[in-house]
Structure 1
Amino acid sequence: METDEINAGIKAAQINNALGFFIITFGVIVLFAMIFTETFVEHMTDMVAGLILISIGGGMMWKAKSNIKKLKAKQEK
């Protein structure tokens, strides 16, 4: 890979890392909103939605960090 392609990949991974953090934060907000619901169905809906958002954001951050590590290792060669 060329240096420009590696730098572009690192930048894209950094953007995905920031986006993953935003999605995790939004998932925590949805979980917190579970306190203000009244019925059991609303509690479960908020809990499932929040946990799905947190897992998606965590997966994005994990994948981005592994991509950054891999691309920086290629860049040093």
Structure 2
Amino acid sequence: RATQDYPLERFTLGNGTFVEGKWVFEVDARGYGITAPIEQLSFHDHFDVYLTITRPCVRFSEVHESGECTYLSDFD
């Protein structure tokens, strides 16, 4: 029931570059649509996408200050 195509919305977070290492990229996406008995309450083609990009690290209380950690890729 799509009635029109919308342009892609692209954006760059920060400067768009990542330092070398292991990163975790998680995608949570959901599509919605409902045809209600009353047309004004119907909606179609609603899609939400959430991206999470993290660089896993571990904190050693003996050597790290608050907010510091060692990236897991440093152990390779």
TM (norm. structure 2) is 0.29
CA radius of gyration, larger in: 2
TM (norm. structure 1) is 0.28
**Greater share of strand:** 2
Bigger relative contact order (CA 8 A; separation at least 6): 1
**Greater share of helix:** 1
